[in-house]
Structure 1
Amino acid sequence: MTLIRNISDTALLAAIYRARESEREDPLFRDPFARRLAGERGEQIARSLTFSEKNAWAWFARTYVFDQFINEQIAAGCDVVVNLAAGLDARPYRLTLPPALKWIEVDLPEITDYKEELLKDEQPRCALERVRLDLADVAARRDLFSRLGANTRQALIISEGLIIYFTTEAVGELAKDLSQQSSFKYWLLDLASPGLLKMMQKKMGQPLAQASAPLKFAPPEGPEFFKAHGWLTREVRSMFQTAGSLKRLPLMLSFFYRLQKSDAFQANRPWSGACLLENVSSANN
């Protein structure tokens, strides 16, 4: 029996895997807030999802890869980070960030209130703003994007663990809305292949669907899907290859890692990766 009540509860699941990795003797990253944010429910949810537990390496790899991309973009001149569906992410508190950096977290009111209460005595390492907003509200998000776009020079958009819950049409609309802001230079997202989506739907799709959070989006063309919506792929890093290089794969999967070392998208195989996209929309020319 799963304990997932709604889509926001998936943030508890992500947090518990960050906590577990942080508590290792050789952690890939350190998130001292993750255990507090996940709470006992996070552990209970994780233990109820056997497929997720067997593939915890994918959670570790995703956090690590996103951390790397974010740090690189900030070093390259990014002055604003916009985290869509921020969940229980604590990067503004745990990463080494320029104090002048602006970090905008966007998510539903309930999960935002929960995180804000638990972190109220902590000090973020940059200028942090939280926006309570349902991204499904198209008019509201466009107003937000317009406001943020007018007040930044080079923004990095993050959507970690988000678009897999959207329909293909909804992802395309979100991509187009983001591309209309010329200052939204880059978009960092995670993407699943149709092969992985099918496996996830079979292994853990039912409890998510029962919580009104069905898994939906995995385009057969991979990151090239976004080209028609104003975004070009600049770099892709495979979660599997990352986990293998960091020695986080189980023994059997380590064998397959040694056989094939490629970050390239593979539609028919279980594949997931972090994709860095650049805004090339004609609306910005």
Structure 2
Amino acid sequence: MTSPSIGHVSDTARWVAVYRALESARPDALFHDELASMLAGEQGVTLGASGMLPRGARNHWPTVVRTRLVDDLVIDSLQRGCDRVINLAAGLDTRPYRLDIPAETIWYEADLPDLIAYKAARLADRRARCERVTRTVDVTDETATAEFLAEACEGARAVLVITEGLLPYLEASQVRMLSNALRRPEIRWWAQDHWSPAMLRMVNLTMGRELGSARWTFASSLNFYQDWSVETAHSIFRAAARWHRSPLVLRGWALLPDTEPGARLERSQFWCGAVRLTHSDREGRV
């Protein structure tokens, strides 16, 4: 029996870097990440180029589309006055290097020690477009997370928090803890990838063996996030069809709701997308 390709959830960061490298090589790339290959490492890039990624992980279009959708949410937030970005479980993300970010923006990244050290070594001679601060934080540790957020939010007026690729690997109680911790007055937006329970079951069914110990454990309706409101929601399926990334058989899924985060979205069993939440008591504030 083939052993799982993933030994720890943090190992998925290299998969994502491989996908960004593959997308960046396309003539019609949705984004360009010149650092992705370096971060993926020679082994990761070789696997991607040879088609030898695990069976369930070969078609990388959902991750690529998610990356572009979150890119767009970041840029939109910056244009609307965001002065601080906090990326929780940042993995091998390179947005501070590749996006057009104002130099005065402060960008915090938090992750486990091994990932922080690996990334620092690989990017030692690279300069981000804004001030970038890294911290080793286990986001499942309530006290450590609260202390980190207090530091990262200090002096900020409008913070965007990103939890891309994080929540599906947590337990519901951990997501609830994080949701409560993010309800700080400095935090205006929370960007995440949202997956319905039916999508979680589908991912574990098709990629469970490759994910190993990193099988998904959390999915919910958007009603789960008490005291948060959906400001923006973009369907991965709709965007993938628009950008010609999804398989032909799934093009019909582009009809699923996109930016209408109301009852239709809540009723959709197969919805997944990039979502930006805001505090319910801060809606409409500048």
**Structure 2 length as normaliser, TM-score?**
0.90
Match of 1:277 in 2: 277
Match of 1:58 in 2: 62
1:166-181 equivalence runs, <5 A? 166-179=170-183, 181=184
Q: Do the aligned partners of residues 49 and 270 (structure 1) sit closer, same or farther apart at CA in structure 2, a change above 3 Å counting?
A: farther
Gaps of 5+ in 1: none
CA RMSD of aligned residues (A): 1.9
1:45-84 equivalence runs, <5 A? 47-54=52-59, 56-84=60-88
Distance 2:216 2:245 in 1: 25
Task: Say which of 30, 35, 38 aligns to 1:36.
Answer: 38
Distance 2:27 2:247 in 1: 18
How many residue pairs end up in the alignment? 272
Match of 1:241 in 2: 238
**Retained in 2: the 8 A contact 1:85–1:106?**
yes
Distance 2:67 2:151 in 1: 28
Match of 2:141 in 1: 137
Q: Aligned with 2:21: secondary structure?
A: helix
Match of 1:214 in 2: 215
Gaps of 5+ in 2: 259-263
Task: Say which of 196, 201, 211 aligns to 1:193.
Answer: 196
**Structure 1 length as normaliser, TM-score?**
0.90
**Retained in 1: the 8 A contact 2:137–2:148?**
no
**Retained in 1: the 8 A contact 2:84–2:158?**
yes
Match of 2:15 in 1: 13
Q: Aligned with 2:189: secondary structure?
A: strand
- Stretch of structure 1 that moved more, 132-141 or 39-48: 39-48
Distance 2:215 2:248 in 1: 31
CA deviations 1:59-102 (Å, max 9, x no partner) are: 11101100001000001100000000000000101111100000
Distance 1:63 1:195 in 2: 21
Distance 2:200 2:267 in 1: 10
Match of 1:265 in 2: 265
- Percent identity (aligned): 35
Distance 1:42 1:242 in 2: 26
Runs of 4+ in 1 over 6 A off after TM superposition: none
CA deviations 1:151-180 (Å, max 9, x no partner) are: 21100000000000111111111100111x
Q: Do the aligned partners of residues 250 and 136 (structure 1) sit closer, same or farther apart at CA in structure 2, a change above 3 Å counting?
A: same
**Retained in 1: the 8 A contact 2:256–2:271?**
no
